[in-house]
Amino acid sequence: MIDSSAFVLAAPGRLEAILCVLVVALPIGLMIGAVVLRAAVSLFNKFAGTSEVEETGESSDLVPEPSMLKAVGILLIIGVANFMIGLILSVVASGFGLNQAGPEGLSLRNQIILNLASLPVTFFVSSALLSALLPTTFKRGMGVALCQYIISILLGLVIGLIVMIVGLALG
């Protein structure tokens, strides 16, 4: 039975943990990701500039900035696609013996190899989905995906630095 005492008095069971992730963590993560995606589109548009204005008054070089809801939907689609790719690469890697777990589990070296191997694949899939879901070219989709990766890495470094400083300050 799910009640509030499961979260306060004891460690939550699997059902409570799954519900917590689906109800709390996933929407918050998607909203943060949507802000990052919109910032990436804006950053790419600043880098791309404008070369010529069409008859409609819109620049042909600009990627249209999605609304917040559309950005959340795009990220959800990209996340599901990248999850499937991760599963496929994991099965392929197990066929080659890369992710054989020992007594301590999967080694850090093999985890890093799998993550680095999936990075180019997920980048191109993200670029293709961005170019399809935002009416733009594949090349511009790659630019937006690259800006999104750069913003995410910088954001992660800043958050990590803040956590490290707070950890050192508290002892």
Q: Which residues of 136-166 are buried (b: 16+ CB within 10 A; e: fewer)?
A: beeebbbbbbbbbbebbeeeeeeeeeeeeee
> What is this structure's pTM?
0.76
> What tens digit of pLDDT does each residue of 33-60 get?
999 999 999 999 998 875 554 445 555 6
> What tens digit of pLDDT does each residue of 125-167 get?
999 999 999 989 999 999 999 999 999 999 999 999 999 999 9
